[in-house]
Structure 1
Amino acid sequence: MLEQWLKTELKPLAQEIDLEGFYPKQILQGLGEQGCFSSSNQQSYLQSVQQEVDTVRLVSKYCMTTGFITWCHLAAITYVRHTKNESLKKRLLAPLESGKVLGGTGLSNPMKNYANLEPLHLKARNVDGGYEVKGTLPSVSNLGEDHWFGAVAKVENEDRNVMIFVECRGERLDLKEKKDYVGINGSATYAVRFLDLFVPTEQVLAEDADAFIKTIRPYFLVYQIPLGFGVIEASIASSESALKKQNGCNAYMEEQPDQVKRDLARQQERLKEQFQNGPLIWESLLPIRKASAEDAVKAAHMTMLHVGGPAYLRKSHPARRLREAYFLVNLTPTIRHLDKMMQITSNEAIN
């Protein structure tokens, strides 16, 4: 039923999202209304996450930009699900899961900071009733006037970081939209400047952000993996539809959809094992996340070759998927970020 809904509602929007930067807010809201983000049913939390992972895969088959903002929203939900701030959870979890309130991530900079790639861009000053936050986040996706997002700031004069949940409204929060990307321009991505923004204690996700990030980062990562799976599945379908082009000469090419299918099945099985062995472990997910991104690029490239001339029109689905796949290898954690983390993990295991 979900896939049929996506065919009807999302597929016709894919070109407008890709070429005109249309933000498909109604798709996120529709997913929420259909219960795709709900954790209040009878299944376990890990089963809910697995169901949400499959939702991201299905969405990404039709438009990975929409799959990406679905991931952003699920990341925001993850923060609220795991916070010990019960008043914040009571206020926002149900609206986020129902799609009435939408959310973004804001953790690109902190994730890079924890890998020693760059410093934290935000600073927080402890004041009566909360914090005053200043600094700039270069890119935060899935934002709008009625959206929320997570962020991490270094607490001045203290040896700790704080994680906050911020509403996009407010005079002391300046948002500048970014639409100059090769792809994913319908992702509602903004540069966000904090102008001594007051964040009350009621909006603090964790006073110890470092410990909190360790808890939530496996979920942050696992929701990214199906972005690649969706692109790969769509690329396979496009390549298979072109098998008879020019008297079947595609059969002589080195890149073939059957091999891509086998590679995809292997990675999907690896991911399935992570859920069976639970809880999810960050280090075990890193190589699957890397393979998902790299295989998506290979699959999208294969489709460009198999479809041929029609694929080289900017409005074609294969060209869109190629742009989407190249974004995926640069999505935090990027391929080079993943390589560093995997090498560190490997060295720690040896020592």
Structure 2
Amino acid sequence: MKPQPLTTTAPELATWLDANAEAIDTAQDLAREILPRLGRADLFQIGVPAHEGGLDGTAVDAIEAIAGVAAHSLTAAFVFWGQRTFIEYLLQSPNEALRARWLPALLRGELAGATGLSNAMKYLSNIEPLQMNATPRLIDGAGAGWTLNGKLPWITNLRREGFLAAAAFDHSDGAPPSIFAIPHDAAGVVRSDDLDLIALRSSNTAALTVERTALDASWQITADAPAFLARVRPAFLGFQCGLSIGLARRALAAIDESSAPARAAVADEVAPLAHELDALTKRLFDGVQHGTFVSAPAALFEVRIGLAAAVDRAVRLEVVTAGGRGYLREKGGTARRTREAAFVPIVTPSIVQLKNQLAQHQRTRAA
């Protein structure tokens, strides 16, 4: 079934994003508005069970929703990805009290959920060690807890108005790494100024430092980070792939809206690219829907790499067909989409990291 565009499912949001996409990408003035607007459109509830306050559906439906937003603004879709991924962590967490306490506000977009697990996903793939540490302690003389320390240099959706950030911690006592939800107002939690990005500037992207922060088990998403990360990685990367799908679709649509001579000049390249995009999207949806990516992450890495390449080709073809008009910032969004496309290969895990992982996987299989 062909996905419904955002102009149909959430026309008010689509109009606002189209009118402000350039400002959202290049400035920070509208950063506080994105999350509540996505929440009012009920987008965070897609793929969430009704008994948890959602609209039912599947993770595939959530990917399509992220893609729908990305067709209008990659910055807004990046915020959407961070929020929906954090929601997924709570849905898959055994900590029912944590989920019951915070999920309603997250689904409404009243509280930001920041997925600070990029470092942890790289740890899972043996790319880098964990950057956060937890030391056991007694809190107020009674009840087990931990003292948390560390810094994560890049987290999206650290909304100044309030956030929970997921982060994985190594344990000094030799216990398995675990994952905590870190509240913005806990003692020792410091958010940096927004990073000086070349684009996506309204995404509330900053560094997070945790220094001698005391949290107890009520804030623990999972006590077994490796197993949990392997289970949620298909959603983490699958939702992320929605960024590529939406941006590539929009670039192809822009080509289709160009002049007849321009379309004819690239027709031999556009047709196979559109077919490839559809095939990669189907592979992604099938793997997420049937759970095959949990035990076969290399297949998911291949899809992510393929989609990044498709985005690059689609936007380059859009530049060709737009001509000089595309070089104007306020004319059709071509210039903005070239900046957005430049982000796709570097979002963690980056294409370089994934290609290295695939090469390692192939060497292991050969051995």
TM value normalised by structure 1: 0.91
Q: CA deviation at 1:202?
A: 0.7
Per-residue CA deviation, residues 160-212 of structure 1 (Å, 9 max, x unaligned), is 21210011124411111234222111110111111111122210111221121
Measure the CA separation in 2 of the matches of 1:91 and 1:295: 40
Measure the CA separation in 2 of the matches of 1:346 and 1:41: 41
Measure the CA separation in 2 of the matches of 1:76 and 1:301: 33
Per-residue CA deviation, residues 303-336 of structure 1 (Å, 9 max, x unaligned), is 1121111222345511111111111100011101
**Change over 3 Å in CA distance of 1:41–1:350 after alignment to 2:** farther
Q: CA deviation at 1:250?
A: 5.5
Matches within 5 A, 1:17-32: 17-32=24-39
Q: CA deviation at 1:87?
A: 1.2
Contact 1:232 1:295 in 2 (8 A): yes
Q: CA deviation at 1:25?
A: 4.2
Q: CA deviation at 1:217?
A: 1.1
- Which of 168, 185, 194 aligns to 2:201? It is 185
Per-residue CA deviation, residues 240-278 of structure 1 (Å, 9 max, x unaligned), is 22234xxx2553358743333222111122223224533
Amino acid at match of 1:40: P
Measure the CA separation in 1 of the matches of 2:212 and 2:288: 42
Report the 3-state secondary structure (helix = DSSP H, G, I; strand = E; otherwise coil) of the residue aligned with 1:183: coil
Contact 2:305 2:351 in 1 (8 A): yes
Amino acid at match of 1:4: P
Matches within 5 A, 1:137-286: 137-145=152-160, 146-244=162-260, 248=261, 251-253=264-266, 256-278=269-291, 280-281=293-294, 282-286=297-301
Name the % identity.
25
**Change over 3 Å in CA distance of 1:79–1:45 after alignment to 2:** farther
Q: Match of 2:21?
A: 14
Q: CA deviation at 1:28?
A: 2.9
Measure the CA separation in 1 of the matches of 2:82 and 2:16: 20
Contact 2:177 2:226 in 1 (8 A): yes
**Change over 3 Å in CA distance of 1:137–1:315 after alignment to 2:** farther
Q: CA deviation at 1:150?
A: 0.2
Contact 1:22 1:185 in 2 (8 A): no
Q: CA deviation at 1:23?
A: 4.3
Per-residue CA deviation, residues 92-125 of structure 1 (Å, 9 max, x unaligned), is 1222223222211101212222223222211111
Measure the CA separation in 2 of the matches of 1:115 and 1:197: 27
Amino acid at match of 1:201: A
Report the 3-state secondary structure (helix = DSSP H, G, I; strand = E; otherwise coil) of the residue aligned with 1:223: helix
Q: CA deviation at 1:31?
A: 3.2
Contact 2:60 2:289 in 1 (8 A): no
Amino acid at match of 2:232: I
Q: CA RMSD in A?
A: 2.4
- Which of 76, 86, 107 aligns to 2:117? It is 107
Contact 1:163 1:209 in 2 (8 A): yes
Matches within 5 A, 1:71-90: 71-90=81-100
Report the 3-state secondary structure (helix = DSSP H, G, I; strand = E; otherwise coil) of the residue aligned with 1:37: helix
Unaligned regions of 5+ residues in structure 1, if any?
Answer: none
Report the 3-state secondary structure (helix = DSSP H, G, I; strand = E; otherwise coil) of the residue aligned with 1:127: strand
Amino acid at match of 1:79: Y
Measure the CA separation in 1 of the matches of 2:269 and 2:347: 27
Q: Match of 1:33?
A: 40
Contact 1:24 1:66 in 2 (8 A): no
